[in-house]
Amino acid sequence: KKDYPMAVQRTFSIIKPDATKRNLTGKVNAMIEDAGLRIVGQRRVQLTEAQAKRFYEVHAESPFYGDLVKFMTSGPVVVQVLEGENAIARYRDVMGATNPAEADAGTIRAAFAESIDANTVHGSDAPETAAEEIAQFFSEEDIPG
């Protein structure tokens, strides 16, 4: 009987301004790699207000949208493409809960997040959003397998 490998998947990650400000990019990346995810694309960028608004458009009607856009443009971020088996769910597990007070020990947000706003990382929540978010920031030739 033949063994089929589990599907390799890609997800989109942002190391948020609270983390770049505290010089935590390397520590976050170590946790990503320790979880079995490979960083196949990475760039440090300053998001414009228009980019942040577009990125979080799904939350446009939420009361926290304004603060979220302000926070995401408050300093440089690191945009990343992560690859691995079951990468989307795997990264969500490593990130921990949105509110760091509820994040499990050993997760990135439990280790580093300051608040529900300054919560250190973003990760895509589904294959469709992962594809859209990756395309917003990377072209295929910038993401070698």
Q: Which residues are catalytic?
A: 122
Q: Does 57 bind ligand RTP (CB under 6 A)?
A: no
What is d(CA 122, CA 108) in angstroms, rounded to the nearest whole number?
Answer: 11
What is d(CA 130, CA 88) in angstroms, rounded to the nearest whole number?
Answer: 8
What SS3 class is residue 8?
strand
Tell whether residue 98 is among the known ligand binding residues: yes
Q: Does 136 bind ligand RTP (CB under 6 A)?
A: no
CB distance 72 to 17 below 8 Å: yes
- Which residues are 79's β-sheet partners? 14, 43
C-beta closer to ligand RTP: residue 18 or 84: 18
C-beta closer to ligand RTP: residue 48 or 64: 64
Exactly one of 41, 94, 122, 130 binds ligand RTP (CB under 6 A); which one?
A: 122
For ligand RTP, the binding residues (CB under 6 A) are: 59, 64, 68, 98, 116-117, 119, 122-123, 125
